[in-house]
Amino acid sequence: MFLSGEIGAELVQGQDLLVDNGFVYMRTTKGLQRVDIIYRRVTTTLLTPLYSDLTPCSVFLGLIDAYKRGNVTVVNAPGTGVADDKSVYAFVPDMIRYYLSEEPLSSGQCGNIPVPTA
């Protein structure tokens, strides 16, 4: 919850969302608010119709449709689970060098981050 507040993002669960006509909306006390970007924390398996009986909320099925239509951006899109695996984090600097031909802005080593002095 701390991180979502720091970046100005809403922290919601499946029952807080609904999909209507290919668009994703968040239920709020002031009515529906359109959602443009989602950082998903649900496995891709739960987003497929074959496993829909495992999900407590059908919004996940509509999410795939909205995503395919280009009406919502899913930061960690279905099928990109390897990028969300924390064991891969150590290799991110090498991936940046290889795929982007750039040096990473951060070392990725939390213990070696210089502490600014006042």
Do the beta carbons of residue 64 and residue 70 sit within 8 Å?
Answer: no
Q: How would you class 113 by CB atoms within 10 Å of its CB: exposed for 0-12, middle for 13-18, buried for 19 or more?
A: exposed
Ramachandran angles phi, psi of 16, nearest 5°: -85, -10
Q: Is the pLDDT of residue 53 over 70?
A: no
Which residue type is seen at 81?
G
Give the pLDDT of residue 88: 77
The pTM (predicted TM-score) of the whole model is 0.56
Report d(CA 25, CA 15) in Å as an integer.
11
Per-residue confidence band for 116, with pLDDT thresholds at 50, 70 and 90: low
Rounded to an integer, the average pLDDT of 46-69 is 64
Within 13 Å of residue 3, how many CA atoms lie on the same side as its CB?
1
Within 13 Å of residue 82, how many CA atoms lie on the same side as its CB?
4
Q: Is the pLDDT of residue 30 over 90?
A: yes
List the beta strands (DSSP E) in the chain: 17-20, 23-28, 31-34, 37-38, 73-74
Report d(CA 81, CA 99) in Å as an integer.
18
Please tell me which residue, 62 or 19, carries the higher pLDDT value: 19
What is the set of domains in the chain, with CATH numbers?
2-77 (3.40.50.11290), 81-108 (no CATH)
Give the pLDDT of residue 50: 44
Q: Is the pLDDT of residue 21 over 70?
A: yes
